[in-house]
Homo-oligomer: A and B are copies of this chain.
Amino acid sequence: MEIIENGGLLAAAGFRAGSARAGIKKAEGEPDVALIVADGPASAAGVFTQNRFAAAAVRWNRALLPADDVRAVLVNSGNANACTGERGEADARASAELTARLVGCRPEQVCVASTGIIGHFLPMDKLTAGIRAAHAALAADAAAARRAERAIMTTDTRPKSAAVRHRVAGAPFHVGGMAKGSGMIAPHMATMLAFVTTDAQVAPELLTGLLRDATDLTLNRVTVDGDASTNDTVLALAGGASGVHIGKGGSSREAFAEALHAVLASLARQIAADGEGATRLIEVRVEGAANDDDAETAARAVAESLLFKCAVYGGDPNWGRIVCALGYSGADVRPGQTTVHIGEACVLKEGVPTGVDAAAAMQGKEITVAVSLGPGPGQAAVWTCDLTEAYVRINAHYST
């Protein structure tokens, strides 16, 4: 498997992207509408937020997917169209209808996604103009991918994309993707929005299963602030242009799962590293747990401890906060069997402080915490970022 630098969404053949500024997002001059169009009907699968106040776009997609004939994905940033009642539903449908007319398909062949403030109606006049402009801008070159990545950003400070080339029996196929994250990032669909394309042929149900599995181990393992959004969405489109067919089992399935995992894992790390106000990426790995669920529970508690995240920000080797979080996590943690490393520094060995200074391991852009809970087979990794004054500043004045 090869990583395609700067590949992104259009590394897979058979897709175009177009973007435009509709004026929904405040950031001056930045695009806020993105359109992804498949050259022909594509297999499509989605994984969505579990928030009870699921946004109109999420409900629209849930009704459509999985499907074997999706032609387009419309995304807007700056407005979540969540908690907007029947008018919000009608607005989501109207935007899919307009997109369908432009692309030349039925509205039910168009997925939609929104991100931004909750509880405000979509400015449909602006969005309508934006959709038309984004459609007019459709292209398959790298610049189009880059602009689409910017169009879905809200408080993200940088675009996020990943792509790989992999082979089945020597024949190459591609998986590419883009995502936006930053705030309101939490368990139960961790990313705000992620879009994956592939030129492999993958049946919708198979794509759904593989997407769910890969999401569980990647995007669902990112937590910035524990707030699970109303709009979280991962969509995958498989166009088939490579001619490589992915079967329900065997080596082709394995290769595709590997490629999909690589793209989503890269996006997950990018989202964590660019959490609102973040200065450092934190990876929390737990092994030796009773089972994988317990390992995840323990890792998540550490990754969501505000106190630990503040300590990482300060470069402060206050490892007691790691241990404290493990202790209240609800996982089966036994103090006498617990060993904790920060980077290479072993700070706690089977429940006893070692006295090793972890100050050096708390510097750098990436901090790794490795916890062993005992002899069990369970393991998990979770990604997060430090908690900084900038996070507070960004979120104290987001709507006003």
Q: Residues on A close to B: CB < 8 A?
A: 49-54, 80, 82-85, 117-120, 183-184, 186, 188, 225-230, 304-307, 310-311, 313-314, 316-321, 323-328, 333-335, 347-348, 351-353, 359, 387-389, 391-400
Contacts and interface: CB of A to CB of B under 8 A. Distances in A.
17 contacts: A51-B327, A52-B326, A83-B353, A117-B320, A118-B321, A119-B319, A120-B320, A188-B328, A227-B324, A310-B398, A313-B392, A314-B398, A314-B400, A316-B400, A317-B399, A388-B392, A392-B392
Nearest to A312: B396
A387 to B, nearest CB: 6
A399 B311 contact: yes
A218 B118 CA distance: 32
Given A83-B351, A85-B351, A306-B226, A118 B324 contact: yes
Given A307-B227, A307-B395, A52 B320 contact: no
Contacts of A313: 392, 396
A275 to B, nearest CB: 11
B230 A316 contact: no
- Which 7 pairs across A and B sit closest by C-beta, in order of nearness? A118-B320, A314-B396, A310-B395, A53-B327, A51-B327, A228-B328, A389-B389
Q: Is the interface of A mostly helix, strand, loop or mixed?
A: loop
Contact of A323 (B53, B188, B359): B53
B399 A392 contact: no
B80 A320 contact: yes
Given A50-B328, A82-B324, A83-B353, 6 more contacts: A52-B327, A228-B327, A229-B324, A310-B394, A313-B396, A316-B398
Contacts of A307: 183-184, 225, 227, 395, 398
A305 B183 CA distance: 12
A183 B52 CA distance: 31
A213 B373 CA distance: 34
A230 B338 CA distance: 15
A230 B327 contact: yes
Given A118-B323, A327-B230, A396 B85 contact: no
Contacts of A49: 328
A393 B389 contact: yes
Given A306-B225, A314-B400, A83 B348 contact: yes
A352 to B, nearest CB: 5
